[in-house]
Structure 1
């Protein structure tokens, strides 16, 4: 293998390993102790701040199904990839899904202010709403969604975050329906989404 190919392959393998690890963590989180978790056990009330600085609760998103994803704006790969996939799925739902939104909830409230969330999500689809809050508020919503987050120190003194990378489908009553596979073709994912809501 050439030096150039090796330089490309090593980060790619590391990225794929990280993606698989997040998937394993997500499954373990949603099925603690190996027991199946009922969809009704996922989600719950929350109070957060949207990317325009307004306080919102779960009730503000009732009436229309929506997607929900945990991440953070300093995420190097998984989050921008997933938000791009979500954007493509939303577009692929066309007129039938024009009222759909996606909630992007930070797992890094220390750095993710409403302003930074607004600047970040506007790079994707205007139906993606960035949500942040205090450490306590974020911890509560992560727990209620059986999600996972962990701060990971870096060698340079900075840090990154490990977190659940599931895309949650929520119905018009704010109830968890299923997770959405956004890695498939956007048209197929859009049909899967529309078929579940």
Structure 2
């Protein structure tokens, strides 16, 4: 009797039944292990990459925004039509209780910074930077540049408070204060933005925001340049020294 071989269809059916008996559908047998290996590592790597990239972008755009704001403030401060619009009449009081006006800027260089004594970090950092610049200029040219601090918070920065504050930074630092209207006039003359509310009292709790620049004035009381927070002390020192040398020629 001839032997009947199983058909190709029945052989495939038998193989499929064996596979199904083992719990694996043929359609997914070759892909399930690959998917399991790919999904896990890909998710962790993608997540880590997303976090690092996001943090980098946040830092970049934050720092660039701050630099852009500083450039705009500097452009506003130095905007001119033939002559710089920075500087002008003011009448304030020194930390020693003496009157001080724009005429006291004559016959010497001045490096002026506007801030307030309750500032937690930026003002101390900038005044420390100013002190290092002044010391460096003193070593090369002598005490030809007067460092000046003008408060944007006159209600809390009294003469006594200003006197205590300026001693922490440089022995020649001149602190200036006055009435709210007098401070407002000085800020307007130097194109300084400040947010101190009027009619405040020493015990009031409020925030102060202001422009962050050093203003260099020459011995004629004329504006020369403005230096922002992003400029390193050595950069400012070099520019101040160049201005002094040009003035001597």
TM over 0.5: yes
C-alpha contact 2:212 2:228 (8 A) present in aligned 1? no
Identify the residue that residue 193 of structure 1 maps to in structure 2: 240
Quick check: 1:75 aligned with 2:75?
no
The 1:151–1:70 alpha-carbon spacing in structure 2 relative to 1, beyond 3 Å, is same
The 1:128–1:40 alpha-carbon spacing in structure 2 relative to 1, beyond 3 Å, is same
Quick check: 1:173 aligned with 2:173?
no
Question: Aligned to 1:107, which of 142, 152, 163?
Answer: 152
Give the TM-score normalised by the residue count of structure 2: 0.63
Identify the residue that residue 10 of structure 1 maps to in structure 2: none
Identify the residue that residue 40 of structure 1 maps to in structure 2: 84
The 1:112–1:149 alpha-carbon spacing in structure 2 relative to 1, beyond 3 Å, is same
- Which has the higher relative contact order, 1 or 2, with Cα contacts under 8 A spaced 6 or more apart? 1
Task: Give SS of 1:111's match.
Answer: coil
* Structure 1, gaps ≥5 residues long: 1-12
Give the TM-score normalised by the residue count of structure 1: 0.79
C-alpha contact 1:105 1:131 (8 A) present in aligned 2? yes
Identify the residue that residue 184 of structure 2 maps to in structure 1: 139
* Structure 2, gaps ≥5 residues long: 1-58, 198-203, 245-249
The 1:21–1:48 alpha-carbon spacing in structure 2 relative to 1, beyond 3 Å, is farther
Identify the residue that residue 170 of structure 2 maps to in structure 1: 125
Instruction: Report how far residue 119 of structure 1 moved.
Output: 0.6
RMSD between superposed Cα atoms in Å: 2.7
Could you say which structure has the larger radius of gyration?
Answer: 2
